[in-house]
A and B are shown apart, each in its own frame.
Chain A
Amino acid sequence: MTEFGHTPITDTPETPRDKDTILYLNNVTVSFDGFRALNALSLVVATKELRCIIGPNGAGKTTMMDVITGKTRPDEGEVIFGHHTDLTKMDEAEIANLGIGRKFQKPTVFENLSVFENLELAIKGWRSVKNCLFFKLDKATQTRIHEVMETIALSSHASRLAGELSHGQKQWLEIGMLLIQAPQLMLVDEPVAGMTDSETEQTAALLKQISQDHTVVVVEHDMEFVRELGGFVTVLHEGSALAEGSLETVQSNEKVIEVYLGR
């Protein structure tokens, strides 16, 4: 359990920016043709935290990820990484190189490359064209890739094309690609969508293990899975944070019940 499990619930998080904050969203608004996908959203994530974001469809979960990773520019508001890095002025590649990794909702791996090559491309460093042209695989890198393949249980599939993997294995490979990037902050969008129960369980264990050394933000629909992860939960609704707290407290919140069960 994280220390956040004991903090009182607040409707809008007004947590001060202390030195442990890794991600700070303040008053972020994004609209598409008048529709407010994010509406004055504020969110604070602490270092090494495992945060779950839940919310009905259209609550703005994916847009929030897009804003953090630089795919979408907010109309208003601040997005601060670490102490004072303003993410709203950077593009995807810059943000990724700062140490923010992202896993997509639909598993996105490089289908025509092998599992090994997928991880090799994700490993930290060698990002410029010149470096890539003269890149040579060294022992340490190789060892690291094998370690990660071990973690995501794909060691025996190293030379298989990623496109041949099962759906669940692709999801793990993508998590592995995140992991090998060694990001400080991992954004994981619906990691268990379409997984079998046992795969879901394994994924929960994997994410819990990862969150020991990384800050992980998970967007998820599956309540069972969120319970299994056991992190601090933020409920999004119509583009802003409706409630925060442990899953139990959030689930007993009247506003949340109203949103989820209909008004």
Chain B
Amino acid sequence: MGNLKAAAEVPQTTINKPKPMAELLRKWGLPAVLLGPFLLLITVFFIAPVVLIIILAFTNMDSAMVWDLNGLLNFKKMASDPNLGEIMLNTVTYVGLTLALNIFLGLSLALLTTYFIQRETVGLVIRTIWMLPRISPPVVYVLLWLWFFDPSEYGVLNSLRALFDMSATNFLVDQPMTAVVLANGLIGASYGMIIFSSAIKSIPGDLFMAARVDGAAQRSIIFDIIIPAVRWPLMFVTLWQLLSLLTSYEYILLLTKGGPLIETEVMALYSYHKAFQSFEYGYGSAVALVLVVIALICTFIFWRIFGMDKMIKSSRVE
């Protein structure tokens, strides 16, 4: 009622007494007050850091923390950096394999806990177990992996190998990237699992019943009904995880520190190491800026080429 009354009053006020400021305030006052704090936070914590990184990338800021602009020197240095080729390759391997594991595991778990296991309580328990690493601090989670891969004969992996008369191995040195992908892939799967589970649950039950009546095989139900129905969540999770993985390095830092040598050093970690280990803040920012550009290109590809922009258009069903 109140809204109707207010709406009725507006044209009258406009006609009788044109007050542009008051009108502007009336129109934008409340949204400004409500959105103001959040806009401020976004500016301070999201936009400002990006702007700072862009500026920093064109300086030679080192441990003295002085803003000395040096043009494109950091980017020229990057072009001749002997490590960067291997690091970029590592990034592609790490992001590609982890993403594949994330999505595959996430979807498998969602199918298991919503389609194959029909009892909600059992599905819930399984999903909760998979969520546990997500809610534990990264340091604790990685510590468990470090114990698992411990090179001594007391490590979990080596104890298991001993059962089959296999010698102890130092997995983190022999297969560092596999270890990093496993640690990241398993924890990342829970995100996709939750989104895919809810998407599968929202598929009308009639479709499954009709498929069964028509004698459709399980494989056919999964690939012809479920996967097409979760196409958009699949796309969203893939993009989201891709962007997260490009910029994530904390698990690698804790697990292998990018080593041995630079075998698990990825772009984001290299940026961190350059800035906070070698105190080359300018160069570290330039590496981070390249990473931002790569992320933007990936987003664009998903948006335009895979048609993700259609996802936010209004539904055509109605």
Q: Do A and B come from one complex?
A: no
Q: Footprint of B on A, CB under 8 Å?
A: none
* B residues adjacent to A (C-beta < 8 A): none
